[in-house]
Amino acid sequence: MTALPPLILGSTSRYRRELLERLRLPFTADAPRVDETPLPGEAPAALATRLALAKAREVAARHPGALVIGSDQVADVDGEAIGKPGSHERAVAQLRRMSGRAVVFQTAVAVVRPDTGFEQVERVPVTVRFRALDDDEIERYLRLEQPYDCAGSAKCETLGIALLSAIESDDPTALVGLPLIRTSALLRAAGLDPVRQAR
């Protein structure tokens, strides 16, 4: 039986690392060296797809014997890319803008395996419907959770779920940052079956 290549998650995100751990596969993580600046006029869906593939390719170039996962997520509000707020003030502005609206979170995942030439990327859109939020609610939520490293300024896996009226997706972990259904399918296509290789 041919030995499987080492699995590498091309990400520094603790959320993606925790999600990938659910598949019970041994893996390491390596930070991709990729400029995440959007190209002029680049749509959020195209940005997420391009960055997921670029991250996987960059890490794979440094680990040519590995199988590499890259992922990216961009919040899409009226065709505008909304990133991680990074500060309380920007998070307040993001949640005010999203209040009472539907926001599409474009999550993309790529798998690259240089030794076989395998390279695929898939995008999973997630529609998130925010309730109408007042300023006191926004302020209290942000002080409690401080989700300044999350695109859209809310963590659906914890208290942020209470800000929402609906989440619409066919891959439930996509909103957290790594769509595990699509990731598993890509890994199988690349020669690593998560169920058969789980530990």
Positions marked active-site: 72
Cβ contacts of 165 within 8 Å, gap of 6 or more: 129, 130, 131
**What gap in Å lies between CA 69 and CA 60, rounded to an integer?**
9
List the helix and strand counts (H, then E) for the chain: 6, 7
Contact 127, 104 (CB under 8 A): yes
SS (H, E, C) 144-171: HHCCCCCCCCCCCCCHHHHHEEEEECCC
